[in-house]
Structure 1
Amino acid sequence: MSRWSPQPAPDEPDGLILFDGVCVFCSRWVRFVIDRDPGRRFTFTSIQSERGRKLAERFGIDPEAPQTNAVIWNGRAWFKSDAALTVLGALPGTRRLGVLKALPRTIRDAAYDLIARNRYRIFGRTEACMVPSAADRERFLS
């Protein structure tokens, strides 16, 4: 079993996305999800928050150098490409992309890791976590 295989998380709210809050690409991912989630099924916590740090440590994610984001879905924590495709599979307009889970995880995660390793260099990094709009603030758990 891979280190990044889904893990049980029945005590966490479904739809919780753990993300790197200082990563510009990751913050754009959160904005992408918010813009396509009219049912407001997803909530967010940055790895840099107290809650996010505890969650990251629980799932073996280094909060100082996160290698993956995570999503809680159906009582399980999903990582890397599984996390991204789980979210895409639940959003209107992107559900068809969920079929990419049929590809072997090793191939999907290799592509994910390439982007993750280079995300700061390609997309940038901020000194502080993104600040959600007033309308979205309740979706961010700290």
Structure 2
Amino acid sequence: MAPIVLFDGICTFCNGAVQFLLRHDRKERMQFGALQSEEGQALLQTYGLPQQEFQSLLVIKDHRIYKKSDAALELVQELGVWWQPMRLFRVVPRPVRDAVYDLIARNRYKWFGKNEHCMLPAPNVRHRFLK
């Protein structure tokens, strides 16, 4: 099963992360969806997750949910060989990794801004977004 990346669709930082993943996922395995979208909301409901909580990047892979820093590290596995050293961050205890993640998540709108509407994917990558 291809990884599904659910992200905050109005967050400028999150949209930048999606653009990064689109560029570096050479095998084009990842699929994307905004947490606020109908598809994102349906997946949150399916997995029993809060439907109004947009503080965490979520990755669904092999019917498992990855949140926060675990989600980010799971995505690194999908990228090319040059990104594999990032996996070493798994040795950092999850509470420490997630504390840094939470700090960025809490301040992302202030530091990076937010959009009025969810991002519209470019036509050449639209097939990689949930319908």
TM-score (norm 1): 0.84
2:25 matched to which residue of 1?
Answer: 37
- The structure 2 residue matched to 1:73, chosen from 61, 65, 82, is 61
1:14 is displaced (CA, Å) by: 2.8
Tell whether 2:106 aligns with 1:117: yes
Cα distance change, pair 60–80 in 1 and its aligned pair in 2 (3 A) = farther
Match of 1:85 among 73, 77, 82: 73
Asked if the contact 1:61–1:68 (Cα under 8 Å) also holds between the matched residues in 2, the reply is: no
Q: 1:132 aligns with which of 112, 121, 124?
A: 121
CA shift digits 1:6-65 (9 cap, x unpaired): xxxxxxx43100000000000000000000011001010101110101223444554434
Select between 106-115 and 126-135 the one with higher mean Cα deviation. 126-135
Q: Secondary structure at the match of 2:39?
A: helix
Higher helix share: 2
CA contact (8 A) 2:8 2:55 kept: no
Pairing 1:21–2:36 present: no
Tell me whether 110-119 or 63-72 shows the greater mean CA deviation: 63-72
Q: CA separation in 1, counterparts of 2:115 and 2:51?
A: 16
- Determine what percentage of the aligned residue pairs are the same residue: 41
Q: Which runs of 5+ in 1 are unaligned?
A: 1-12
Which deviates further from its counterpart, 50-59 or 17-26? Answer: 50-59
Q: Which residue of 1 aligns with 2:34?
A: 46
Give RMSD over aligned pairs. 1.5
Unpaired runs of 5+ residues, structure 2, are none
Query: Normalising by the residue count of structure 2, what TM-score does the alignment of the two structures yield?
Result: 0.91
Q: Which amino acid aligns with 1:96?
A: P
Secondary structure class of the residue paired with 1:122: helix
Amino acid at match of 1:52: G
Equivalent-residue separation in structure 1 for 2:45 and 2:111 (angstroms): 26
Compare 62-71 and 22-31 and name the one that shifted more.
Answer: 62-71
